[in-house]
Structure 1
Amino acid sequence: MSSSTPVPPSPSVLLNTGVHMPLLGLGTYKLCGTDAVYQAVDAALDAGYRSFDSASVYRNEADLGRALKELLPKYGLSREDVFITSKLGPKDQGVNAMDGALHSLSQLDLGYIDLYLIHWPGTQGLDVADQRNPGNRAQSWVAMEELHTKGKLKAIGVSNYTPGHMKELMQSCKVPPALLQVEFHPRLCQTELRKVCVEHGVCFQAYSSLGRGELANDPVVTEVAQRYGRTPAQVLLRWAVQQDVPVLPKSSQSDRIKQNAEIFDFILSEGDMDKLTELDCGQRFCWDPSEVI
């Protein structure tokens, strides 16, 4: 067991599959190398993280699976105690979706994946305006539905979908998406997307909560952080989870990983929540999926 005081797992949200998913997860984008992944997972488990987010394009699924298998016993945990997310790469969109998903299952080697997402609405090698994109998305979803029915993918969902992409999926799917993961922070509040998710019972999850670090220097964010005696990152993450939006902060530094988990022992006032939300200006720090047909 870890020598430090046990940390209670973070609060969770209920997915439409009837499964609870932690509000806090460790993002692993750009977390590469066996040692780096192992150290980050160790620090995260120690800090109370029970959710880990990967993707085929991150090229760290195998390292993540190995690290978890080695570290779970150290914390008295089993496979069922953690929630693992991975994603279908744009190169596998369409006809290669089944192979792509099976490859992720093989790389992680954890028996099943708790949540598997279509990473991007487009297809690698095709123009954003290519008329084959909608058909490829639909084909990917059918493959994921099949693996969901077999219990290999406990929940399925999408990432970087627009309201239009979401509505298209809702009209054709047999298994509704459990979750939509998109860029979300005070400067990009995604109001329309959140309404679509509420309407269809889809969990709305945030990535890039810190705006690739830039929002940590926003004067409004720093002013709120100083008032609560918290870091700007903690305030930005708290702003999301206080709206029941799950977050996936990423870091390779153990102290930062621990800090990012300390967001459930304070509450932002309604005024401060509004002040942060008023920063909304539609600014993206990541890719824009709105042009993908």
Structure 2
Amino acid sequence: MSVNGHVKGHKRLSNPNRLWGPEEVYRAVDAALAAGYRAFDSAAVYRNEVDLGRALKELLPKYNLKREDVFITSKLGPKDQGDKAMEGALHSLSQLDLGYIDLYLIHWPGTQGLAVNDKRNPGNRAQTWATLEELHARGKLRAIGVSNYTPAHMKELIQSCKVRPALLQVEFHPRLCQTELRSVCEEYGVCFQAYSSLGKGELVTDPLVMELATNSERTPAQVLLRWAVQQGVPVLPKSSNPDRIKDNARLFDFTLTETDMERLSALDCGQKYCWDPSEVV
């Protein structure tokens, strides 16, 4: 199955942040597999690739699943941009220890230790992408993509790459609709994937979101996730709570009305709750 088909067609769990320990990762993965999740998102900077890999190797047999039944995404850390990219990617492969990575992303367009306006950033991105292309050709990275890229970063990459990015993962929610970025992805056939769909929790108390949740007898989180999914945007819900993991998967048995969708989209104000890559040259 293609990356686009896999991320849109399967329940996904955004892997726990780096503060989670092995036991919590194990419990979250167990609950996710039980709820039907088959895709998991991690990153070098989360510092839990080892824990995710170990949990999956122990738990897949419990659910009569094999390695090829799950889809693993991880990301290269900003410190490994440029000439350290090969070492960083191979380290992720070793940490996960699952044979290959289904989707590997450049986590950030800049390089750790360089100023956002440092003119070495574009060259480092290009060198990093060439490294990922090499590992993709060797079958170690089944698909490659990027995260936190702007329209300018995307166009720069598309113009120079041999292998087009399969996916772009960015912050996306009603207060940050990313219209231009989605248009660029559509033009070049890149899957657009959302993270931070709840705006770091800020949006679950938005009056409109709460109103729609009450009207539809759903949670505010489900309304926000459904808003993205209903537009064809795959999401990355993150939780260690088994009940919330189940709730976050229940997005396909209700719909928002066209008016509801329009009202939510009207909240767009360009608000970023995570990182702002727009200043990275």
Shared fold, TM over 0.5: yes
Q: Structure 1, residues 190-214: CA drift from partner, whole Å, max 9, x if none?
A: 0000000000000000000000111
- The answer for the alignment partner of 1:40 in structure 2 is 28
**TM-score, normalisation: structure 1:** 0.93
Q: Distance in 2 between matches of 1:85 and 1:28?
A: 9
- The answer for the alignment partner of 2:78 in structure 1 is 90
Q: Does 1:165 align with 2:145?
A: no
Contact persistence 1:23–1:244 (CA under 8 A)? no
Q: Distance in 1 between matches of 2:16 and 2:280?
A: 22
Q: Does 1:285 align with 2:267?
A: no
Q: Structure 1, residues 245-272: CA drift from partner, whole Å, max 9, x if none?
A: 1111111111111111111111111111
Structure 2 unmatched ranges of 5 or more: none
Pairing of 1:19-58 with structure 2 (within 5 A): 20-21=6-7, 22-30=9-17, 32-58=20-46
Pairing of 1:1-293 with structure 2 (within 5 A): 14-15=2-3, 20-21=6-7, 22-30=9-17, 32-293=20-281
Q: Distance in 2 between matches of 1:135 and 1:29?
A: 31
Greater percentage in helix: 2
Contact persistence 1:160–1:181 (CA under 8 A)? yes
User: What is the percentage of aligned positions where both structures have the same residue?
Assistant: 75
**TM-score, normalisation: structure 2:** 0.97
Question: Structure 2: which amino acid aligns with 1:171?
Answer: Q
Report the count of equivalent residues: 279
Q: Distance in 1 between matches of 2:192 and 2:218?
A: 25
**Secondary structure, counterpart of 1:96 in structure 2:** helix
Contact persistence 1:23–1:245 (CA under 8 A)? no
Q: Distance in 2 between matches of 1:256 and 1:173?
A: 40
Q: What's the offset of the Cα at 1:23?
A: 5.0
**Secondary structure, counterpart of 2:274 in structure 1:** coil
Structure 1 unmatched ranges of 5 or more: 1-12
Q: Distance in 2 between matches of 1:20 and 1:249?
A: 16
- The answer for the alignment partner of 1:4 in structure 2 is none
Q: Structure 1, residues 90-140: CA drift from partner, whole Å, max 9, x if none?
A: 000000001100000000000110000000000000000000000000000
Runs ≥4 residues deviating over 3 A: 13-16
Q: Distance in 1 between matches of 2:177 and 2:272?
A: 10
Q: What's the offset of the Cα at 1:15?
A: 3.5
Q: Distance in 2 between matches of 1:55 and 1:151?
A: 19
Contact persistence 1:15–1:202 (CA under 8 A)? no
**Secondary structure, counterpart of 2:29 in structure 1:** helix
